Amino acid sequence: MCGIIGYIGGKQAAPVLIDGLKRMEYRGYDSAGIALINDDGKVDLRKRKGRVSVMASEIEADRFPAHMGIGHTRWATHGGVTDANAHPHTSSCGRFIMVHNGIIENYENMRSFLAGKGYTFSSETDSEALVNLISYHYDERTVDGAADRFMESVRKALLHVEGTYGIAVISPLYPNEIIVARKGSPLLIGIGNGERLVASDVSGFAGRAQNVIYLEDGQLACVKKDFCDIITNGKQEVECVIKEIDWELETAELGSYRHFMQKEIFEQRKAIENAIRGRISDDMSTAILSGLNMSANELRQIDRILFCACGTAWHACLVAEYLIEKYARIPVEVEYASEFRYSNPPLDKNTLVFVISQSGETIDTLEALREAKRKGFKTLAITNVVGSTIARESDGGLYQYSGKEVGVASTKAFTSQIVICLLIALYFGRMRDLSFSDGREIVEAIKSLPDLIDETLKQAPKVEQIAKKYAKYPDFLFLGRLEEYPIALEGALKLKEISYIHAEGYPAAEMKHGPIALVCPECPTVIFANSGEIFHKVISNAKEIGARNGPVIMITDSPESIDEGLADDIIAIPKSHSSVRTVLSTIPIQMLAYYIAVARGCDVDKPRNLAKSVTVE
């Protein structure tokens, strides 16, 4: 989603801003722009629809000398993808220039108020209303004469905003400062040597800052090259909390891989090893989850667990439901984070609320967390991004340590989330009815996973062949039962996201109640048929598809038990304990989606319309 960058210091700002924008390209965007203020107060502004490189090619030609400026990658919400709607936006008087992430819900009222005062607009965006409102407040007598008149105008304008924002504002009248503020959209201040950066994501700092200040909701900062002042929107001073940036966690290079998604699929061994490191008890029978910040006594009081998340992370919650109910016998409910906030479901008092979010910035998930906190529930988070808003605002939780995930399609983060949920199931289970030997069996299964992942990844050449065969098909069905039902949903989501093929996931047996109408020679079905009590039931479902001339792609740990002719294509995964099998079942569907997207010539890491971190509702 939109990316913000800002720089003030001794270096030439334009290359720093462009580099920062390029580092944040993975977030997803459709246009880019920068605004620079030269030492003599002259403003240079360039913005273009399309990639950062399109806009940057004009900058290189001009070689701007400015030492401060702001930049933006826009993910369109209000108004189409045009040069005029791209950020930065300038107030009609030309004195204020702003980049904005988020949505200003009452922008129409603002626009008509400002239009009545003679302000004009050159874009269809909500953001342009805000930068003009800042200009309006600058001219008001209430801020006139204040030493911090610029910041005060921004603060006053923001008091009228309904909605969310992360903003950076500059003005040729104040060439030595950038005003930033946030409510709902992330905003970070990077501290370098005699220079400051602002960004919506640590990666925007591109190794230039060693320390970071995470602005909290309702805070504004005046950023200068060697210090910054932070206040609340109620004008209270705020002490700066400076954190060190772990660049090892924040950096991702493509290396010899063609795409980040491919790289991240192949990094799953390492990601899982990181997820379990230090989290297994010495007697190898349970998990150690000190990050939950809850005593054994508190945890024993839990009667119910609610999981909230979006997209792929929501699928991880569904797997968690199966695992926790099976091993810990605690009832689990799973809600879309976006629905939970407004549906206001009744919750028992001994409910524990978990949210899962790779980025830790998804606004729907963050708001679900806040809603649960507001109601007084203990809220825990599973996130990958250290220091993210969700990680900071939850009462406790578990970091995934999957390493940076750049590909918009989540892969290694998903399997890590599953493994962490299994650790939770094991932990709660061992506090209740799960025996020592059952606990040890699960621990052994978890420890065997890295090798089994490597073995599964060896299927890549075969999956690539299958992908080429089906790359032109217009529809896919994904079917799985029990804990493989969420993996069927995930398979359909992955394929949709990066190859733009229509796909649906269903519980295998549910197929007969409607989706079977889709089955035909042009609609392949990917079906999970793994050993266990429902193996033969799934085989029957596969036969029903074959009888209707639907191509069957079977993912199975028992290829030896599949009758000749039952499946058109078989992808074998290694045999494993049922507690960890979803991890292995996931890998072929990730590879299938990846290779199909490549075969179709799609931009795998930057799929159309999608954003890595969804920071608007």
Q: How far is the CB of 248 from ligand M6R (least distance, A)?
A: 21
Going by their DSSP bridges, the two strands 219-223 and 89-90 should be labelled as: unpaired
Q: How far is the CB of 313 from ligand M6R (least distance, A)?
A: 4
Distance separating alpha carbons of residues 212 and 192, to the nearest angstrom? 9
One symbol per residue from 394 to 423: x for binding ligand M6R (CB under 6 A), - otherwise; what is it?
Answer: --------------xxx-------------
One symbol per residue from 324 to 353: x for binding ligand M6R (CB under 6 A), - otherwise; what is it?
Answer: ------------------------------
Please give the residues from 285 up to 324 whose contact with ligand M6R meets the rule CB under 6 A: 310-313
DSSP type of residue 280:
B
Report CA 611 to chain centroid distance, whole Å: 8
Q: How far is the CB of 125 from ligand M6R (least distance, A)?
A: 23
Cα distances (angstroms) measured from residue 189 to each of 29, 225, 247:
22, 11, 15
- Does residue 612 have an active-site annotation? yes
Q: Which one, 136 or 340, has the nearer CB to ligand M6R?
A: 340
Please give the residues from 188 up to 207 whose contact with ligand M6R meets the rule CB under 6 A: none
- The verdict on 90 binding ligand M6R (CB under 6 A) reads no
Q: Which one, 357 or 530, has the nearer CB to ligand M6R?
A: 357
Q: Which of 308, 314, 302, 385 is nearest to 342 (CA)?
A: 308
Q: DSSP for 555-600?
A: EES-GGGSPTTS-SEEEE-----GGGHHHHHHHHHHHHHHHHHHHT
Going by their DSSP bridges, the two strands 525-528 and 475-480 should be labelled as: parallel
SS3 per-residue string spanning 458-525: CCHHHHHHHHHHHCCCCEEEEEECCCHHHHHHHHHHHHHHHHCCEEEEEEHHHHHHCHHHHCCCCCCE
Distance separating alpha carbons of residues 377 and 370, to the nearest angstrom? 10
Q: Which of 161, 167, 248 is nearest to 200 (CA)?
A: 167
- The DSSP bridge partners found for residue 502 are 475
Residue from 362, 415, 576, 579 touching ligand M6R (CB under 6 A): that is: 362
Residue from 90, 200, 203, 365 touching ligand M6R (CB under 6 A): that is: 365
- The verdict on 359 binding ligand M6R (CB under 6 A) reads yes
Residue type, 154: V
Q: How far is the CB of 267 from ligand M6R (least distance, A)?
A: 15
List Cβ neighbours of 422 (8 Å cut-off, separation of 6 or more): 323, 442, 446, 579, 580
- The verdict on 614 binding ligand M6R (CB under 6 A) reads yes
Q: Which of 489, 490, 532, 479 is nearest to 326 (CA)?
A: 532
Q: DSSP for 321-378?
A: HHHHHHHT---EEEEEHHHHHHH-----TTEEEEEEESSS--HHHHHHHHHHHHTT-E
Tokens 């269903």 belong to 506
- The verdict on 31 binding ligand M6R (CB under 6 A) reads no
One symbol per residue from 550 to 589: x for binding ligand M6R (CB under 6 A), - otherwise; what is it?
Answer: ----------------------------------------
Answer whether 478's CB lies under 8 Å from 526's CB.
Answer: yes
**Backbone dihedral region of 227: left (phi > 0), alpha (psi from -120 to 50 degrees) or beta?**
beta
- The verdict on 185 binding ligand M6R (CB under 6 A) reads no
- The DSSP bridge partners found for residue 101 are 166
Say how many residues touch ligand M6R, by CB under 6 A: 16
Catalytic: which of 47, 156, 225, 612? 612
Q: Which one, 6 or 480, has the nearer CB to ligand M6R?
A: 480
- Does residue 240 have an active-site annotation? no
Residue from 127, 357, 416, 590 touching ligand M6R (CB under 6 A): that is: 357
Q: Which one, 540 or 609, has the nearer CB to ligand M6R?
A: 609
One symbol per residue from 490 to 519: x for binding ligand M6R (CB under 6 A), - otherwise; what is it?
Answer: -------x----------------------
Distance separating alpha carbons of residues 399 and 472, to the nearest angstrom? 39
Answer whether 188's CB lies under 8 Å from 213's CB.
Answer: yes
> Residue 74 belongs to what H/E stretch?
strand 68-74
Answer whether 612's CB lies under 8 Å from 28's CB.
Answer: yes
Q: Which one, 268 or 312, has the nearer CB to ligand M6R?
A: 312
- The verdict on 6 binding ligand M6R (CB under 6 A) reads no
| Peptide bond between residue 88 and the one before it cis (omega within 30 degrees of 0) | yes
Q: Which one, 177 or 217, has the nearer CB to ligand M6R?
A: 217
Catalytic: which of 2, 228, 310, 602? 2
Q: How far is the CB of 41 from ligand M6R (least distance, A)?
A: 40
Residue from 171, 358, 389, 579 touching ligand M6R (CB under 6 A): that is: 358
Residue nearest to ligand M6R according to CB distances in the complex: 311
Q: How far is the CB of 130 from ligand M6R (least distance, A)?
A: 26
List Cβ neighbours of 567 (8 Å cut-off, separation of 6 or more): 542, 546, 552, 553, 554
Residues in the site for ligand M6R, rule: CB under 6 A?
Answer: 310-313, 357-359, 362, 365, 408-410, 497, 610, 613-614
Residues with catalytic roles: 2, 612
